[in-house]
Amino acid sequence: MAASIKDDDDGDEMSEINVTPFIDVMLVLLIVFMIAAPLSTVDVPVNLPGSSAPPQERPEEPVWLSLGADGVLSLGNDPVELAALAAALEARTGGDRTTAIFLRGDRDIPYGELMTVLDGLRNAGYLKVALVGLESVGTEGGAAP
């Protein structure tokens, strides 16, 4: 008895192209480009500086100036008015205008309020201002005091 092998392919070439994987790949690429295209455009040209400076040591008793989300300005733990900021800093630093001021601003405050505080520091003669942020985990040189 002879065994016969059934061949579904009768030797003709398949004339159909399975385009489903091709369409899937194209749709994924379309989504990637739709997301990436707006991120790659820049409306305002900015030449950002690079920094390879190591994290700086903070003084033993830093002067902390904080601007909370509610707009309250605090020198250390004491609230202070912007008009009285120069006198409060003079009393805290002993009149030494070369003292670095560590400015902490809440992420939800408007940029204009932060600039008003920076202008107040400049008008008071304190030009060494360190902006304090969160230290990024896993990055080199991203340390904040």
User: What pLDDT, on the 0 to 100 scale, is given for residue 9?
Assistant: 57
Residue 84 belongs to a domain: yes
Q: Residue 75 in contact with residue 88, Cβ under 8 Å? A: yes
% of the chain residues with pLDDT over 90? 23
For the stretch 110-143, what's the b/e string if a residue is b when 16 or more beta carbons lie within 10 angstroms of its beta carbon? Answer: eeeeeeebbebbeebebeeebebeeeeeeeeeee
Cβ of 89: how many Cβ atoms within 10 Å? Answer: 23
User: What pLDDT, on the 0 to 100 scale, is given for residue 5?
Assistant: 53
Residues 35-61 pLDDT 10s: 877 765 544 343 333 444 456 677 778
Q: How far is CA 26 from the centre of its chain?
A: 33
What is the tally of structural domains in the chain?
A: 1
Q: What angle do CA 7, 11, 13 make, to 5 degrees?
A: 125
Mean pLDDT of the region 62-72: 85
Q: How far is CA 56 from the centre of its chain?
A: 20
| Average pLDDT score, the chain | 76
Residue 74 belongs to a domain: no
Range of the domain at 116: 80-132
User: What pLDDT, on the 0 to 100 scale, is given for residue 11?
Assistant: 63
Residues 110-134 pLDDT 10s: 888 889 999 999 999 999 998 776 6
Residue 102 belongs to a domain: yes
